[in-house]
Every structure is written in C-alpha cells, then in structure tokens.
Amino acid sequence: MTVERVVDHRSEQEFTLAVGNHRAVAAYQLEGDTIVFTHTLVPPELEGRGVGTKLIRGALDLTRDRGLKVVPQCPFVRAYIDKHPGLRDLLA
C-alpha cells in the first residue's frame, strides 16, 4: 500500500490522500478566513487502515499553515479534533 501526502486541491475545495489506486477526500468550503469541513470520504477498500486519520491530520496541518480557522461540520473531523485537544485552537 503506497500512501502519498495530503494535497489541497483548492479549485475543487478538497483535500485528498491517494493510497494505491484509491483516493480519500475531505471536502470543504472556504468562507473568508474560515474553512468549513463538510464531509470526509474514505473508500471502503481503505477503511480501518488509518487513512481517514492521516487525511484529516494532514488537512488540519495545511489549514494551520494557511492561518485559517476551522468549522468541523463533518462528524469525522469533529471527532478527530475532540480526540486531539492540541488542535482546538483551530476552531472558529
């Protein structure tokens, strides 16, 4: 299983993580200096391998680098932030 790095496709408003022939996606909407994570999709073939976790960690790192605040509408992103108190400063 070859895992790539998380990429921000700004024109599509999604972060992606390619794993082999599959792609996990964290969709977002940019609203000024706030990024609203709307949903996360991990293909069934990749579930249970930590791909979603790696995707969201990378997406939040890139978000921090851009100086954006986060609104985690997506339950997966909300749960990730809840489990990692050091990320709560990102919340809008």
User: For residue 67, what are the CA distances in angstroms to 19, 47, 55, 56, 89?
Assistant: 27, 30, 18, 16, 11
Please state the length of the chain. 92
Indicate whether 3 pLDDT > 70: no
pLDDT tens-digit series, residues 52-86: 999 999 999 999 999 999 999 999 999 999 999 99
| Helices (H) then strands (E): counts for the chain | 2, 5
pLDDT for res 12: 97
Indicate whether 1 pLDDT > 60: no
Q: How far apart, in whole angstroms, are the C-alpha atoms of residue 28 and residue 21?
A: 23
**What domains does the chain contain, in order, with CATH numbers?**
7-90 (3.40.630.30)
Helices (H), 1-92: 51-65, 75-83
Indicate whether this model's pTM tops 0.75. yes
